[in-house]
Structure 1
Amino acid sequence: MGLTSRSLLFTVIFVAVVCVGLTLWLWPRLAGRGALPVLGRLGTILVTQLTIMAALALAVNSSFQFFGTWNQLLGKYDKSPVNVTQMGDGGAYAAVDAAKGGPVQPAGPQGLDKVGGIPRGPEEQTGKVESVRIIGRKSNAVNPAFVYLPPQYFQKQYERHRFPVMVVISGYPGGIMNLAQHLQVPQTAVRLLGENKMQPTVIVMVRPTIAPPRDTECVDVPGGPQAETFFTTDLPDALRSTYRVGHDASAWGAMGYSSGGSCALQLSMRRPDVYPNAAALSGDYKVGNDLTTGNLFGTGDEAKQREREHDLIWRLEHLPVPRINVLVTSSAKGEKQYGETRRFLGAVKEPMTAASIILPEGSHHFTTWRREIGPAMEWMSKQLIFPQDVQG
């Protein structure tokens, strides 16, 4: 039985219940003072506690997918390279130069000073990671961010050039530190640039929620947080007014892991005029209400329609297909969304194109996403158009 299978979970729960029952039945029979009764009582307590803890651990792991397979639980991680499969054509940290009151403002380190491998040498040789906060003029949101600027951004021959942009979104409830420390986005960018596998790109690392602790799922909530507006209007406007980045959408892409990957797909399919390229590492394909999101869609018939429109497979089957490029990842063993990933890929049709990374086994965890982030960033770089326009 698989580590995250329901059959294993229900079996262990059944064993735990049986052990509790046996303990109650045996306890009067183990009431003597001899060594054997004492050992018997200790044994029943130990076995019962172990089965209860095992059931709880399996339930938590099944819900959050910390480990997807037995091999991962035992520390046997596959570190071999992964490949992108292209579907058919159908199928100082506060050094940002921002005016006072501007949409991108300097921030403290926000933990960046604790991350290893961050570029810290001469800017024109190593690039730079800035710690900032982004002010949403229309959404009235403030979101922390890290901005990676490649070495070319500071080199004289590029001083008038605009650069392509990757917006990288963390999962929920994780924040931008996860992108820098655990997913190692800027470190991967430095490596790919050094290997000539990625073009010089400005990378913006943000979290998906604009109203923590609420999980806003990149949705414009009726009467509530306007997360989609932040990502599709405020964020691009702020970056274009502060950095030398492309003005045309062809230079822009969104990517993320877990709920951040879901956001990237949602943003691209709903607003292809802003993000015509998207990559989702272990993302989901629809948005629904739960305890962390609250009511995302309002009430009445309009709410039902809004929720349907955030189901990406439903969109592919019922709405005009956008001209976008997407990459999705999953694992045949260890990922709950593997079946939905296959359904999504099967629903893709022209003019949309899709690529995938499907691992034999993996988990909803950074050990898997770190294997995928390099190939995903390399794929994304190939989709982005280095802007021909220049500044000035």
Structure 2
Amino acid sequence: MALTSSSLLWALALGVLVVSGLVLWLWPRAARGGIAGWSARIGLLLVAQFALLSVLLVGANRTFGFYSSWAELFGRASSQQSLNEATGDGKRPPALTVKGVESIGLKGTKEVAGQVERVDIRGPLTGLTMSGYVYLPPQYYQRGHEQEKFPVVVAVTGQPGISKNLITQLKVPQSVSAAVMAKKIRPTIYVLVRPSLVPGRDTNCTDVPGGPQALTFFNQDLPLAVAARYRTTDAPGSWGAVGNSTGGYCALKFAMTNPARYGAAAGLSADYFARQDRDTGDLYDRSAKLRRESDLIWRLKNRPAPPVSLLLSSSKQGEANYKPTLDFAAAAKAPTRVAQLIREEGGHNFQTWREEYPEVILWLDRELQRPAS
């Protein structure tokens, strides 16, 4: 059974009931003195605790997406980083490959509600690869729209996390489909990805000196791959980005470093700088300059203001990024526009972000319709 499957969780829950019954049945037999009796009772308690802990850990993993597979859990690479090699006829393999259709319970056929496709993206510039999902609106399949090009929003989940969290936990394509069907937003393509490109390493959407060029992948490889496969608009600043936590940092960073592509971005409970820890390794090759460049508040204060619209979300209570959010907004200057979505209460969790996403989707649609500054 898959690590994130509901069948595994139910099987473990059933195991807890079975183990609990066995403990109750065996306890009187273990209720005797001496080392043997004490050892038996301790053993029964440990078995019961292990069974309960297994349910709690698997449930937490399903909720927060720490590990997507057994391979990741046991430290084995679950994805590959590879260079795109030329085929025998001298042509490179496609930068984006559709692997199939993902059923997510949209309310209608693809001509009515749209469709989600599973994709693999290969970066010709960086040599990095990533799996993800693409939501295509119903108009993409309808007659009369065969030549129409669509705006694109790149949605990035947090770290650690899996791209499927954007479907199962945050309900992003479901919210987009509902908004398109209700004619609240224009038909829009949503690309659903995770921030990590290298198994076992959090690159924080940063071009690491001598290492993975993660920012280049998102700023150049991913847009080129998506545009090569789908009918996307190519007007300056016509793409958007959105993300939560580390993904929010990435989304804001895309717009601030590549405004010609990303005209609007939203960071939900976003970080404003790339933390370095044991999961990131040295992101800057000990360069103070590169470290400053990755601090988004520093960029607002010390670099020319990009002509983009940015949305920041935070909560007055329960969010460590509340004061940095205010500092970021205060540092912004024209032509950068900053809006804030501030809650009285909330948290750094899926429930908060899931509630924010419908409003953020409407905001992105409005801002991406603005003419370039």
Q: TM-score range by the shorter chain?
A: 0.7 to 0.9
1:351 aligns with 2:335: yes
Q: SS where residue 237 of structure 2 aligns? A: helix
Q: Deviation at 1:318?
A: 1.2
Q: Deviation at 1:246?
A: 0.8
Choose the corresponding residue for 2:289, options 292, 295, 305: 305
Q: Which residue in 1 is equivalent to 2:52?
A: none
Does the Cα contact within 8 Å between 2:316 and 2:322 map onto a contact in 1?
yes
Does the Cα contact within 8 Å between 1:251 and 1:386 map onto a contact in 2?
no
Q: Which residue in 2 is equivalent to 1:145?
A: 132
Does the Cα contact within 8 Å between 1:163 and 1:246 map onto a contact in 2?
yes
Q: SS where residue 191 of structure 2 aligns? A: strand
Q: Which residue in 2 is equivalent to 1:275?
A: 262
Does the Cα contact within 8 Å between 2:238 and 2:261 map onto a contact in 1?
no
Q: Which residue in 1 is equivalent to 2:277?
A: 290
1:335 aligns with 2:319: yes
Q: Deviation at 1:128?
A: 0.7
Aligned equivalents of 2:279, 2:236: Cα separation in 1? 32
1:103 aligns with 2:75: no
Aligned equivalents of 1:349, 1:175: Cα separation in 2? 35
Aligned equivalents of 1:108, 1:259: Cα separation in 2? 28
1:239 aligns with 2:226: yes
Write out aligned runs for 1:19-98 (5 A): none
Q: Which runs of 5+ in 2 are unaligned?
A: 1-63, 65-90
Aligned equivalents of 1:150, 1:233: Cα separation in 2? 23
For normalisation by structure 1, the TM-score amounts to 0.69
Write out aligned runs for 1:102-141 (5 A): 102-107=94-99, 112-113=102-103, 115=104, 117-118=105-106, 121-141=108-128
- Render the CA deviation track for 1:223-279: whole Å, top value 9, x for unaligned: 111101110110011111110001123220111111000001111111212212100
Residue identity opposite 1:244 in structure 2? R
Does the Cα contact within 8 Å between 1:250 and 1:385 map onto a contact in 2?
no
Q: Which residue in 2 is equivalent to 1:46?
A: none
Q: SS where residue 158 of structure 1 aligns? A: coil
Q: Deviation at 1:156?
A: 1.6
Q: Deviation at 1:286?
A: 1.0
Q: Which runs of 4+ in 1 moved over 2 A?
A: 106-109
Does the Cα contact within 8 Å between 2:112 and 2:181 map onto a contact in 1?
no
Does the Cα contact within 8 Å between 1:163 and 1:386 map onto a contact in 2?
no
Aligned equivalents of 1:330, 1:282: Cα separation in 2? 5
Aligned equivalents of 1:279, 1:197: Cα separation in 2? 18
Does the Cα contact within 8 Å between 1:170 and 1:260 map onto a contact in 2?
yes
Q: Which residue in 2 is equivalent to 1:41?
A: none
Write out aligned runs for 1:313-328 (5 A): 313-328=297-312
Residue identity opposite 1:105 in structure 2? T
1:366 aligns with 2:353: no
What is the root-mean-square deviation in Å for CA atoms of aligned residues?
Answer: 1.9
Aligned equivalents of 2:195, 2:129: Cα separation in 1? 12
Aligned equivalents of 2:320, 2:275: Cα separation in 1? 16
Aligned equivalents of 1:356, 1:135: Cα separation in 2? 35
- Render the CA deviation track for 1:41-60: whole Å, top value 9, x for unaligned: xxxxxxxxxxxxxxxxxxxx
Q: Deviation at 1:344?
A: 0.6
Aligned equivalents of 2:179, 2:250: Cα separation in 1? 25
Residue identity opposite 1:383 in structure 2? E
Aligned equivalents of 1:131, 1:314: Cα separation in 2? 37
Residue identity opposite 1:307 in structure 2? R
- Indicate how the Cα distance of structure 1 residues 330 and 153 shifts in structure 2: closer, same or farther if over 3 A, else same: same
1:197 aligns with 2:189: no
- Which of structures 1 and 2 has the larger relative contact order (alpha carbons within 8 angstroms, sep 6+)? 1
Does the Cα contact within 8 Å between 1:256 and 1:280 map onto a contact in 2?
yes
Aligned equivalents of 2:92, 2:123: Cα separation in 1? 15
Aligned equivalents of 1:361, 1:105: Cα separation in 2? 42
Q: SS where residue 179 of structure 2 aligns? A: helix
Q: SS where residue 198 of structure 1 aligns? A: coil
For normalisation by structure 2, the TM-score amounts to 0.73
- Render the CA deviation track for 1:102-129: whole Å, top value 9, x for unaligned: 11112256xx45x4x346x432112110
- Indicate how the Cα distance of structure 1 residues 233 and 100 shifts in structure 2: closer, same or farther if over 3 A, else same: closer
Q: Which residue in 1 is equivalent to 2:146?
A: 159
Does the Cα contact within 8 Å between 1:106 and 1:133 map onto a contact in 2?
yes
Residue identity opposite 1:103 in structure 2? A
Residue identity opposite 1:329 in structure 2? S
